[in-house]
Amino acid sequence: MRGVLLLLAVSSVACRTRVQAERDSPVYGGVAVSGLPDIGGSLIAGQWFSKASAKYDFAFELRGTYQRGEDSPTQDGKFAQVQAGAKQITNPGHKSRWAFRYGATWFRATGKPNIIDKPGDYFGAFAGVGYEWYLTPRLLLGPEATINIVNGEGSIDWEFLPQFSLNLLFDF
């Protein structure tokens, strides 16, 4: 376990040095508590790719979410999701900022998680808005609300799936 932690620490320092030299933009990672369709958690990784202006910046972000439904005879579902897209922040360099996320999403629902009526694979798009503030010079915290517009396999109907999360992000 110590070897894995040491490897992660060394690679994050090496990655930060390389990124700063090439693009002058840091990578970030984090975790989130996720709600809807059930309660679970997320892992987040991102790379800033644009210093667009003093008013906003863009990043590529990848997020994986896992939620486990209630264990009961009528409702036993699992929910696994991957989101890939862009993140735009306002007021870079300030202690607090608005964050907007949008991109593509895929998720698999098994059993019958809340809100989702049928198990299966779902594909679509997402858009979200959140507010983040720095707790320390590298640690951010903030809530976020997201809407997923998805189509289930073998279906012609589009469904709307809201999600809420509390994100804890670390700038490497």
Distance CA 142, CA 169 (A): 9
Within-domain flag for 36 = yes
Number of folded domains that form the chain = 1
Rounded Cα distance, 114 and 37, in Å: 5
What domain range includes position 101?
Answer: 28-171
pLDDT tens per residue, range 47-99: 998 766 678 889 999 999 998 876 544 556 788 999 999 999 998 888 999 99
Q: What pTM was estimated for this model as a whole?
A: 0.79
- Asked whether residue 116 is assigned to any structural domain, the reply reads yes
Across-strand partners of 109?
Answer: 79, 120
Q: Is residue 1 part of a domain?
A: no
Domain containing residue 66: CATH number:
2.40.160.20
Residue type, 29: G
Q: Has residue 93 been placed in a domain? A: yes
Compute the mean pLDDT over every residue in the chain, rounded to the nearest whole number. Answer: 82
